[in-house]
Amino acid sequence: MTQLTGRDPSLLRRINSAVTLHALRGADALTLTQLMEDTGLSRPTVEGVVEGLTRQGLVAEVDPDAGAPRRGRPARRYRFRAEAGHLLGLEVGVRAVRGVLADLGGTVVGTLRRDVHQETAADERLGAVRALVADLLRRSGVPRGNLRAVGLGTPGIIGADGAVELCAAVPGWTGLDLGARLRRSFRCPVLVENDANLAAIGEHWKGAAVGADSMVFVLAGLSPGAGSLINGRLHRGFGGAAGEIGALHLLGRQADPEHLLSTTDTPLRPLDEQAVAGVLRRAAEGDAEASEALDRFVERLSHDVAALVLAIDPEVVVIGGWATGLDGLLEPLRARLAGHCLRAPRVALTELGEEAVALGALRTALDHVERELFAVDR
Amino acid sequence: MTQLTGRDPSLLRRINSAVTLHALRGADALTLTQLMEDTGLSRPTVEGVVEGLTRQGLVAEVDPDAGAPRRGRPARRYRFRAEAGHLLGLEVGVRAVRGVLADLGGTVVGTLRRDVHQETAADERLGAVRALVADLLRRSGVPRGNLRAVGLGTPGIIGADGAVELCAAVPGWTGLDLGARLRRSFRCPVLVENDANLAAIGEHWKGAAVGADSMVFVLAGLSPGAGSLINGRLHRGFGGAAGEIGALHLLGRQADPEHLLSTTDTPLRPLDEQAVAGVLRRAAEGDAEASEALDRFVERLSHDVAALVLAIDPEVVVIGGWATGLDGLLEPLRARLAGHCLRAPRVALTELGEEAVALGALRTALDHVERELFAVDR
């Protein structure tokens, strides 16, 4: 590895510390000699770094009695203390709030979901989030002070500061400084992001788009939204509005899903996962009107997805959102995209289902902490 | 600046050389003392680097008699020899081929355009390109051997190797290994790219999108194409097909411009810049049928542009292509986008006009050479 001459001793210490921590995190436990080999650092440097990381609580010596008995004195072994901090991924949706709690190694230690009413006002919705967090921490036995970062996903256009600039789906959300409101409840950074953007990050982390650095996640719902990764990084757009394709139907002959999926002249309300699954089931059973309704809905969805695919040309499109029963949408969507796009992408169903947004929020929180722990650039 | 310890002396020499060249290129002429100040390098190092660069022909001593007479012996001054190499930017379009020639400093020293027929076959079209290049070099007095890189833009989906994967607009283009065919005519690298992608690079370099690192260029034409920069870098898409929004109208009620812009039942053929300008002029003069035709066309264009804007959320959209007379399109397009997009971007008309693609091709060739000359990473 590159050795830098020490014009900035504190920077050098940070680099050595990050490199050592990185090596420890990638293994169960390592001796000082193994750490020297992995990092290229000298024994006195490794000893000093391990001592400092131990003081910070990030590294611990492994109990020497844990291994099998050996001749002579066994070499000391050290491990990364994943339990030294926790991350929280939250989703504040239209009809539910959800939380995922994990340790510094990214291992999930608790999840929780609470229903909220579609019409719930902003203050009450925030109250539901706070109650959910308190409950999740208590059930998982994690003290609030142990949280290192919180990620949160919600519908709408989110400013760089975490304020909701525009959101039609959640009452009272537009103009709410969500980041500032939530930061009162935590002593660690709170990162707010659009829900579809976080779902894209989630599916790329451990879902249907692992290894695909160019991907689009489509959150099928009343008004479809999308998040995309370009070169493995979230593409927010200049004003944080990238992927808000829901407005596209205003320009064409497409209408809203409540009418499209209805088999009568009356719009289907409330149109939620259950209602969508009902139409799909009836279509699968051969009901002619449900089949027609499904065709109309797939046409609208294909049009929105085609717009994204033609603009961005991703490797993979992951479809999520109305997760229950979406299986039936996949084949007709693939067929339409193959006909309309010059290069049809792989189309996959969400693998994270309803947890995609919260897991993406968790990954964002983890990224934030890892940048602090493992960053070697200033 | 960062000093690296010399575990790789040739890398170190390259870095010092690049840094010195960079300093010289940013000034008219510099003394060794000024170069030491600008680069942070020692006098012996600067002397060695300048000697090496002079041997390579990239640096020359400025004639000491050029300045005003001074007491004592004046310090030697050195300059970057922009004339040490040349770059060529080419566009192979449906109805014309075009070339722009510049020196290593990016200063244009010659341009040339030749009409070709829409139906011209691939071999004949390539012949027209070769003839144009020979003529342009001759008129500019630049020997072919002085070319360091060639950039070329053409319609269609272009593979990473420079082959045309798909192109409906140019006869015989689909499947043609354009890069390989052209490399026979040059002893320097030939870089082939989609025309709209290069126009985006051109407008960002010296057109309507200077300073906007998130921008989309829309090449309005028979089938609109687009190129986009994200974080200042060209976004090609996973398969090089990003921005090919022309296919979008197949999904909606939109039709092709030849019908949309016609004021009769007969499609407008050939639909070129002149024909489009004619419809715009008649609409401006109050002709009702021309106004209706224009409305239909703007609706289709807005729909395609809205799809791009909703997917990517750029800071600026630059409209080019059918450049003559496009002025009349801008205001109605702005109005429609403002109504349909959650965050409307700035919409600007091309500032490079018909030269956008060739100038983008030139910039790409210049980037290639600069990476070689100024790169400090391996």
The pLDDT profile of chain B, 378 residues, written as one tens digit per residue, is 334 444 456 777 888 888 898 899 888 899 999 999 988 889 999 999 999 999 999 999 998 665 555 667 778 999 999 999 999 999 999 999 999 999 999 999 999 999 999 899 999 999 999 999 999 999 999 999 999 999 999 999 999 899 999 998 899 999 999 999 999 999 999 999 999 999 999 999 999 999 999 999 998 876 778 999 999 999 999 988 898 877 665 544 446 777 777 777 787 777 777 787 788 888 889 999 988 888 888 888 888 888 899 999 999 999 998 755 667 788 888 988 887 777 889 999 999 999 999 999 999 999 999 888 876 543
CB contact under 8 A, B345 and A252: no
Q: Which pLDDT does position B247 carry in this prediction?
A: 66
Mutate to test the interface with B, among A166, A216, A249, A251 (most CBs of B within 10 A): A251
Q: Which residues of chain A have pLDDT under 70?
A: 1-9, 64-71, 222, 247-255, 323-326, 375-378
**pLDDT attached to residue A65:** 63
The alpha carbon of residue A347 and the mean position of all alpha carbons in its chain are separated, in whole angstroms, by 19
A239 touches chain B (CB under 8 A): yes
> Are the C-beta atoms of B369 and B87 separated by less than 8 Å?
yes
Strand partners, B230: B233
Find the CB nearest B241 among A299, A302, A343.
A343
Cβ contact A3–B5 (<8 Å): yes
Residue range B85-200+357-374, CATH number: 3.30.420.40
Chain A interface includes B292 (CB < 8 A):
no
Same fold, A9-80 and A211-351: no
- State residue B249's pLDDT score: 59
Which DSSP state fits A250? Answer: G
Structure tokens at B339: 């109504």
User: Quick one: DSSP state of residue B267?
Assistant: -
ipTM value:
0.82
- Let me know: does B219 contact B321? Beta carbons within 8 Å: yes
Considering only the C-alpha atoms of chain B, give the largest distance between any 2 of them, rounded to a whole number of Å: 84
Amino acid at B177: D
- Please identify which residue in the block is written with the tokens 């986008």: B337
Alpha carbon distance A62, A46 (integer Å): 17
Strands of A108-115's sheet in order across:
A108-115, A96-103, A86-92, A147-154, A190-194
Q: In whole angstroms, what is the distance from residue A295 CA to residue A278 CA?
A: 15
Decide the pairing of beta strands B215-220 and B316-321.
parallel
Say how far apart CA B348 and CA B208 lie, in whole Å: 7
Q: A305-333: b or e for each residue (b if 16 or more CB lie within 10 Å)?
A: bbbbbbbbbbbbbbbbbbbebbebbeebb
Q: Do B109 and B48 form a contact (C-beta atoms < 8 A)?
A: no
Q: Is the omega angle on the peptide bond into residue A314 within 30 degrees of 0, that is, cis?
A: no
Q: Calculate the dihedral angle through the C-alpha atoms of A151, A190, A234, A254, rounding to the nearest 10 degrees.
A: 70
Identify the DSSP state of A149. E
Instruction: Give the position of tokens 């001759």.
Output: B138
Q: Beta-carbon neighbour count of residue A75 at 10 Å? A: 12
State the pLDDT at residue A16: 86
What does the pLDDT read at residue A251?
47
Q: What is the pLDDT of residue B325?
A: 60
Nearest chain B residue to A167 by CA: give it: B342
- Residue B53 backbone phi and psi in degrees, to 5: -65, -35
Token output for B309? 């804007």
Tokens 């810049």, residue?
Answer: B273
Fold held by A211-351 = Nucleotidyltransferase; domain 5 (3.30.420)
A240 touches chain B (CB under 8 A): yes
Reading across the β-sheet that carries B108-115, which strands appear in turn? B108-115, B96-103, B86-92, B147-154, B190-194
Alpha carbon of residue A113 to chain centroid = 16
- The residue type of A358 is A
Q: Which of A101, A57, A64 is nearest to A80 (CA)?
A: A57
Q: Which of A373, A368, A366 is nearest to A21 (CA)?
A: A373
Calpha distance B59→B347 (Å, rounded): 42
Side-chain half-sphere exposure of A39, counting CA atoms within 13 A: 28
* Both structure tokens of A163: 């304020």
Closest by CA position to B178, among listed B201, B197, B199, B160: B160
Q: How far is CA B262 from CA B277, B278, B338, in A?
A: 12, 11, 27
How far, in Å, CA of A125 to CA of B162, rounded?
Answer: 54
A27 contact B CB<8A: no
Chain B residues 167-226 within an 8 A CB cutoff of chain A? 214, 226
Asked whether A374 and A80 are in contact (CB, 8 A), the reply is no
**Tokens, residue B8:** 């790789």
Rounded to the nearest angstrom, the minimum Cα separation between B301 and chain A is 11
Residues whose CB falls within 8 Å of the CB of residue A181, separated by 6 or more in sequence, listed in order:
A126
| The two three-digit tokens of residue A71, written as one number | 């001749």
Neighbours of B42 (CB within 10 A): 11
Q: Cβ neighbours of residue A366 under 8 Å, at least 6 residues apart?
A: A87, A102, A104, A106, A149
Q: Which architecture characterizes domain B209-351 according to CATH? A: 2-Layer Sandwich (3.30)
User: Which amino acid appears at position B67 of this protein?
Assistant: G
Which residues of A, range 301-340, sit inside 8 Å of B by Cβ? 302-303, 306-308, 310-315, 340
Report CB contact under 8 Å: B251, A302: yes
Burial class (CB in 10 A: 0-12, 13-18, 19+), B177: middle
The Cα of A187 is separated from the nearest Cα of chain B by a number of Å equal to 32
Neighbours of A273 (CB within 10 A): 16
**CA A189 centroid distance within chain:** 16
Three-state DSSP class for residue B242? coil
Domain covering A9-80 in this structure, CATH number: 1.10.10.10
d(Cα A160, Cα A236) in Å, to the nearest integer?
Answer: 9
B-chain CB neighbours of A343 within 8 Å are 157, 237-241
Tokens 């004619």: give the residue.
B278
Q: Residues of B numbered 123-142 whose beta carbons fall under 8 angstroms of chain A's beta carbons: which are they?
A: none
The per-residue pLDDT for B100 is 98
Q: CB atoms < 10 A from the CB of B300, how many?
A: 22
User: Which amino acid, B300?
Assistant: R
- Chain A's closest residue to B314, CA to CA, is A238
Q: pLDDT value at position A283?
A: 86
Distance in angstroms (rounded) separating the CA atoms of residues A101 and A80: 19
Q: What's the 3-state SS for A11-79?
A: HHHHHHHHHHHHHHHCCCCEEHHHHHHHHCCCHHHHHHHHHHHHHCCCEEECCHHHCCCCCCCCCCEEE
Give dist(CA A324, CA A221) in Å, integer.
Answer: 12
Distance between CA atoms of A208 and B345, rounded to whole angstroms?
32
Query: Domain locations in chain B?
Result: 9-80, 85-200+357-374, 209-351
Amino acid code (one letter) for A243:
G
